[in-house]
Chains A and B, each alone.
Chain A
Amino acid sequence: MRVDASRFISSGLIEAYVSGLATSNEVQELERGMTQYPEVAAAVNDCQLDMEQYVTLQSKTPPADLKHRIFHIIVNEEAARESGTLTTETDTEEFPETKVYVSSSWRWIAAAAILLLLGSLLLNYVFFGQINDYKGRYEALLSTQNTLASESNLYKTRVEQMEHSMDLVKDPSMKTVKMPGTKPFPSALATVYWNQQSKEVFVMVNNLPEPAADKQYQLWAIVDGKPVDMGVFEMGDHHELLQKMRSIDNAEMFAITLEKKGGSAVPTLDQMYVAGKAS
């Protein structure tokens, strides 16, 4: 198959022509191709036959009286034609053929103007398509860029938080208090980091179940056998990092209980998840 003919066949022009989508320029281009290459004409004809099959599948019988109405009109017309009374009703609306003569110089100018206009329209069309294409690609890149930037910010924050936690843990005065799970919650585990110099206390959740929406975990220090409130903490995204709690000078034990949101004044002992000795 010749290169030009196969270009027509793979361009989508035939499908556009058969479906009625082709612009008048495209119609002219394809019709030239059909007279030039028999294989293009055959491809158009095959596609048209299939489209006509699709159309025929959607057939519906018109109302019965319509045929009589049409025949009534044409029979009357024929009778009038034979008796010569028909005012030659040549129907030209479908195929207007008007001839206007103008001087040849104006014809050249008009032809040139039309060519320029067509050229400009074609360029408009081409550039408009390109601009739309670039706009789409630009927007896609922009949204990818935004996604990457926000992801990168997220990672940056996480790294900073982790570095901060590492710095705290690296401090030689930091004491680690491991709090294993109590009997009812054997798999629970949390750790208290207690700076012996600054007396600051941090908690790290190793394994605690996600609390219900109206509940929060609360850290307690046991001082002289009595519980001291060290504050509540959130799970959320932070559960892998150290969270700062209240500072305390002395404590024999630390424990975590599950309390109502905001914390309680005294611990709910049957909801004690973890506990560990400080010394």
Chain B
Amino acid sequence: MESAFTYTESELVQGLKAKDQKVFGYLYDRYSPALYGVALKVLNDESNANDVLQEVFLKIWRNIDRYDESKGRLFTWMLNITRNSAIDTLRSKAHKMDQKIQDIGDDVHLYTGNLTVHPSVDHLGLSKVLEKLTKEQRIIIDLAYYKGCTQEEISKVLEIPLGTVKTRMRNAIIQLRNLLKLV
């Protein structure tokens, strides 16, 4: 079901709203790796990530009428659905806040080892970007984006004052954006 041609974003949205299965197949082929990457990063578990990805594509198919083009791009909308579904699953797995903090703590320790970049995706230059971010910059971005942590939780996990969390995040993202220009 590989698509030999590409659609513009508005053609994609129109096709989805018309329940065109060929367009949906194209959407899946084009975006499922990125969305699956998000679910995996959040959950750290392939079986849970599979369930989330299935749920996400069913939501996209069923709720495309609720997508409002004036409020943002289609990919942003799909990413938000994926992040929210994955983080909800993560939270329902870790009932207590303590448990969640514990998990984050464990994740933080993962960062002290080698960068876990899958060799098959590294042609995209991910490791080049990651190795030039400091450990704290990588962690602060990932805790917020992939683990849905609040400013208070980040302040606790990284042991930095609450008032500086946003400043650190701003610096981390500015650094990330500079590095992405080099990829």
Binding site for B on A (CB under 8 A): 12-13, 15-16, 18-21, 23, 47-48, 50-63, 66-67, 69-71, 73-75, 78, 89, 91, 94-95, 128-129, 132-133, 136
Contact B163 A21 (CB under 8 A): no
Q: Does B92 contact A (CB under 8 A)?
A: no
Closest Cβ of chain B to A28, distance in Å, is 14
Residues in A whose Cβ lies below 8 Å from that of B144: 16, 19-21
Q: Does B8 contact A (CB under 8 A)?
A: no
Residues in B whose Cβ lies below 8 Å from that of A21: 144, 149-151, 154, 165-166, 169
Residues in B whose Cβ lies below 8 Å from that of A62: 32-33, 36, 49-50, 53
Cα–Cα distance between A15 and B137 once the two chains are bound (Å): 13
Contact of A133 with B161 at beta-carbon distance under 8 Å, contacts A12-B167, A74-B61 already known: yes
**B42-91 with Cβ < 8 A to chain A:** 46, 49-50, 53-54, 57-59, 61-63, 66, 72, 75-76, 79, 81, 83-84
Closest 6 CB pairs of A and B: A12-B170, A59-B33, A62-B36, A15-B173, A21-B144, A57-B126
Closest Cβ of chain A to B173, distance in Å, is 4
Among the interface residues A15, A52, A133, A136, which one has the most CB atoms of the partner chain B within 10 A?
A15
Residues in B whose Cβ lies below 8 Å from that of A60: 33, 36-37, 40, 118, 120-121
Binding site for A on B (CB under 8 A): 1, 19, 21, 24-25, 28-29, 32-34, 36-38, 40-41, 46, 49-50, 53-54, 57-59, 61-63, 66, 72, 75-76, 79, 81, 83-84, 118, 120-121, 124-126, 129, 141, 144-145, 148-151, 154, 161-163, 165-167, 169-170, 172-174, 176-177, 180, 183
Closest Cβ of chain A to B104, distance in Å, is 14
Q: Quick one: which of B29, B34, B38, B173 contacts A19, CB cutoff 8 A?
A: B173
Closest Cβ of chain A to B39, distance in Å, is 9
Contact A133 B163 (CB under 8 A): yes
Residues in B whose Cβ lies below 8 Å from that of A75: 21
Residues in A whose Cβ lies below 8 Å from that of B79: 52, 55
Contact B33 A15 (CB under 8 A): no
Given A15-B169, A20-B148, A21-B165, 13 more contacts at CB 8 Å? A50-B176, A52-B79, A55-B145, A57-B126, A60-B40, A60-B120, A61-B120, A62-B33, A63-B46, A70-B28, A78-B19, A94-B63, A128-B162
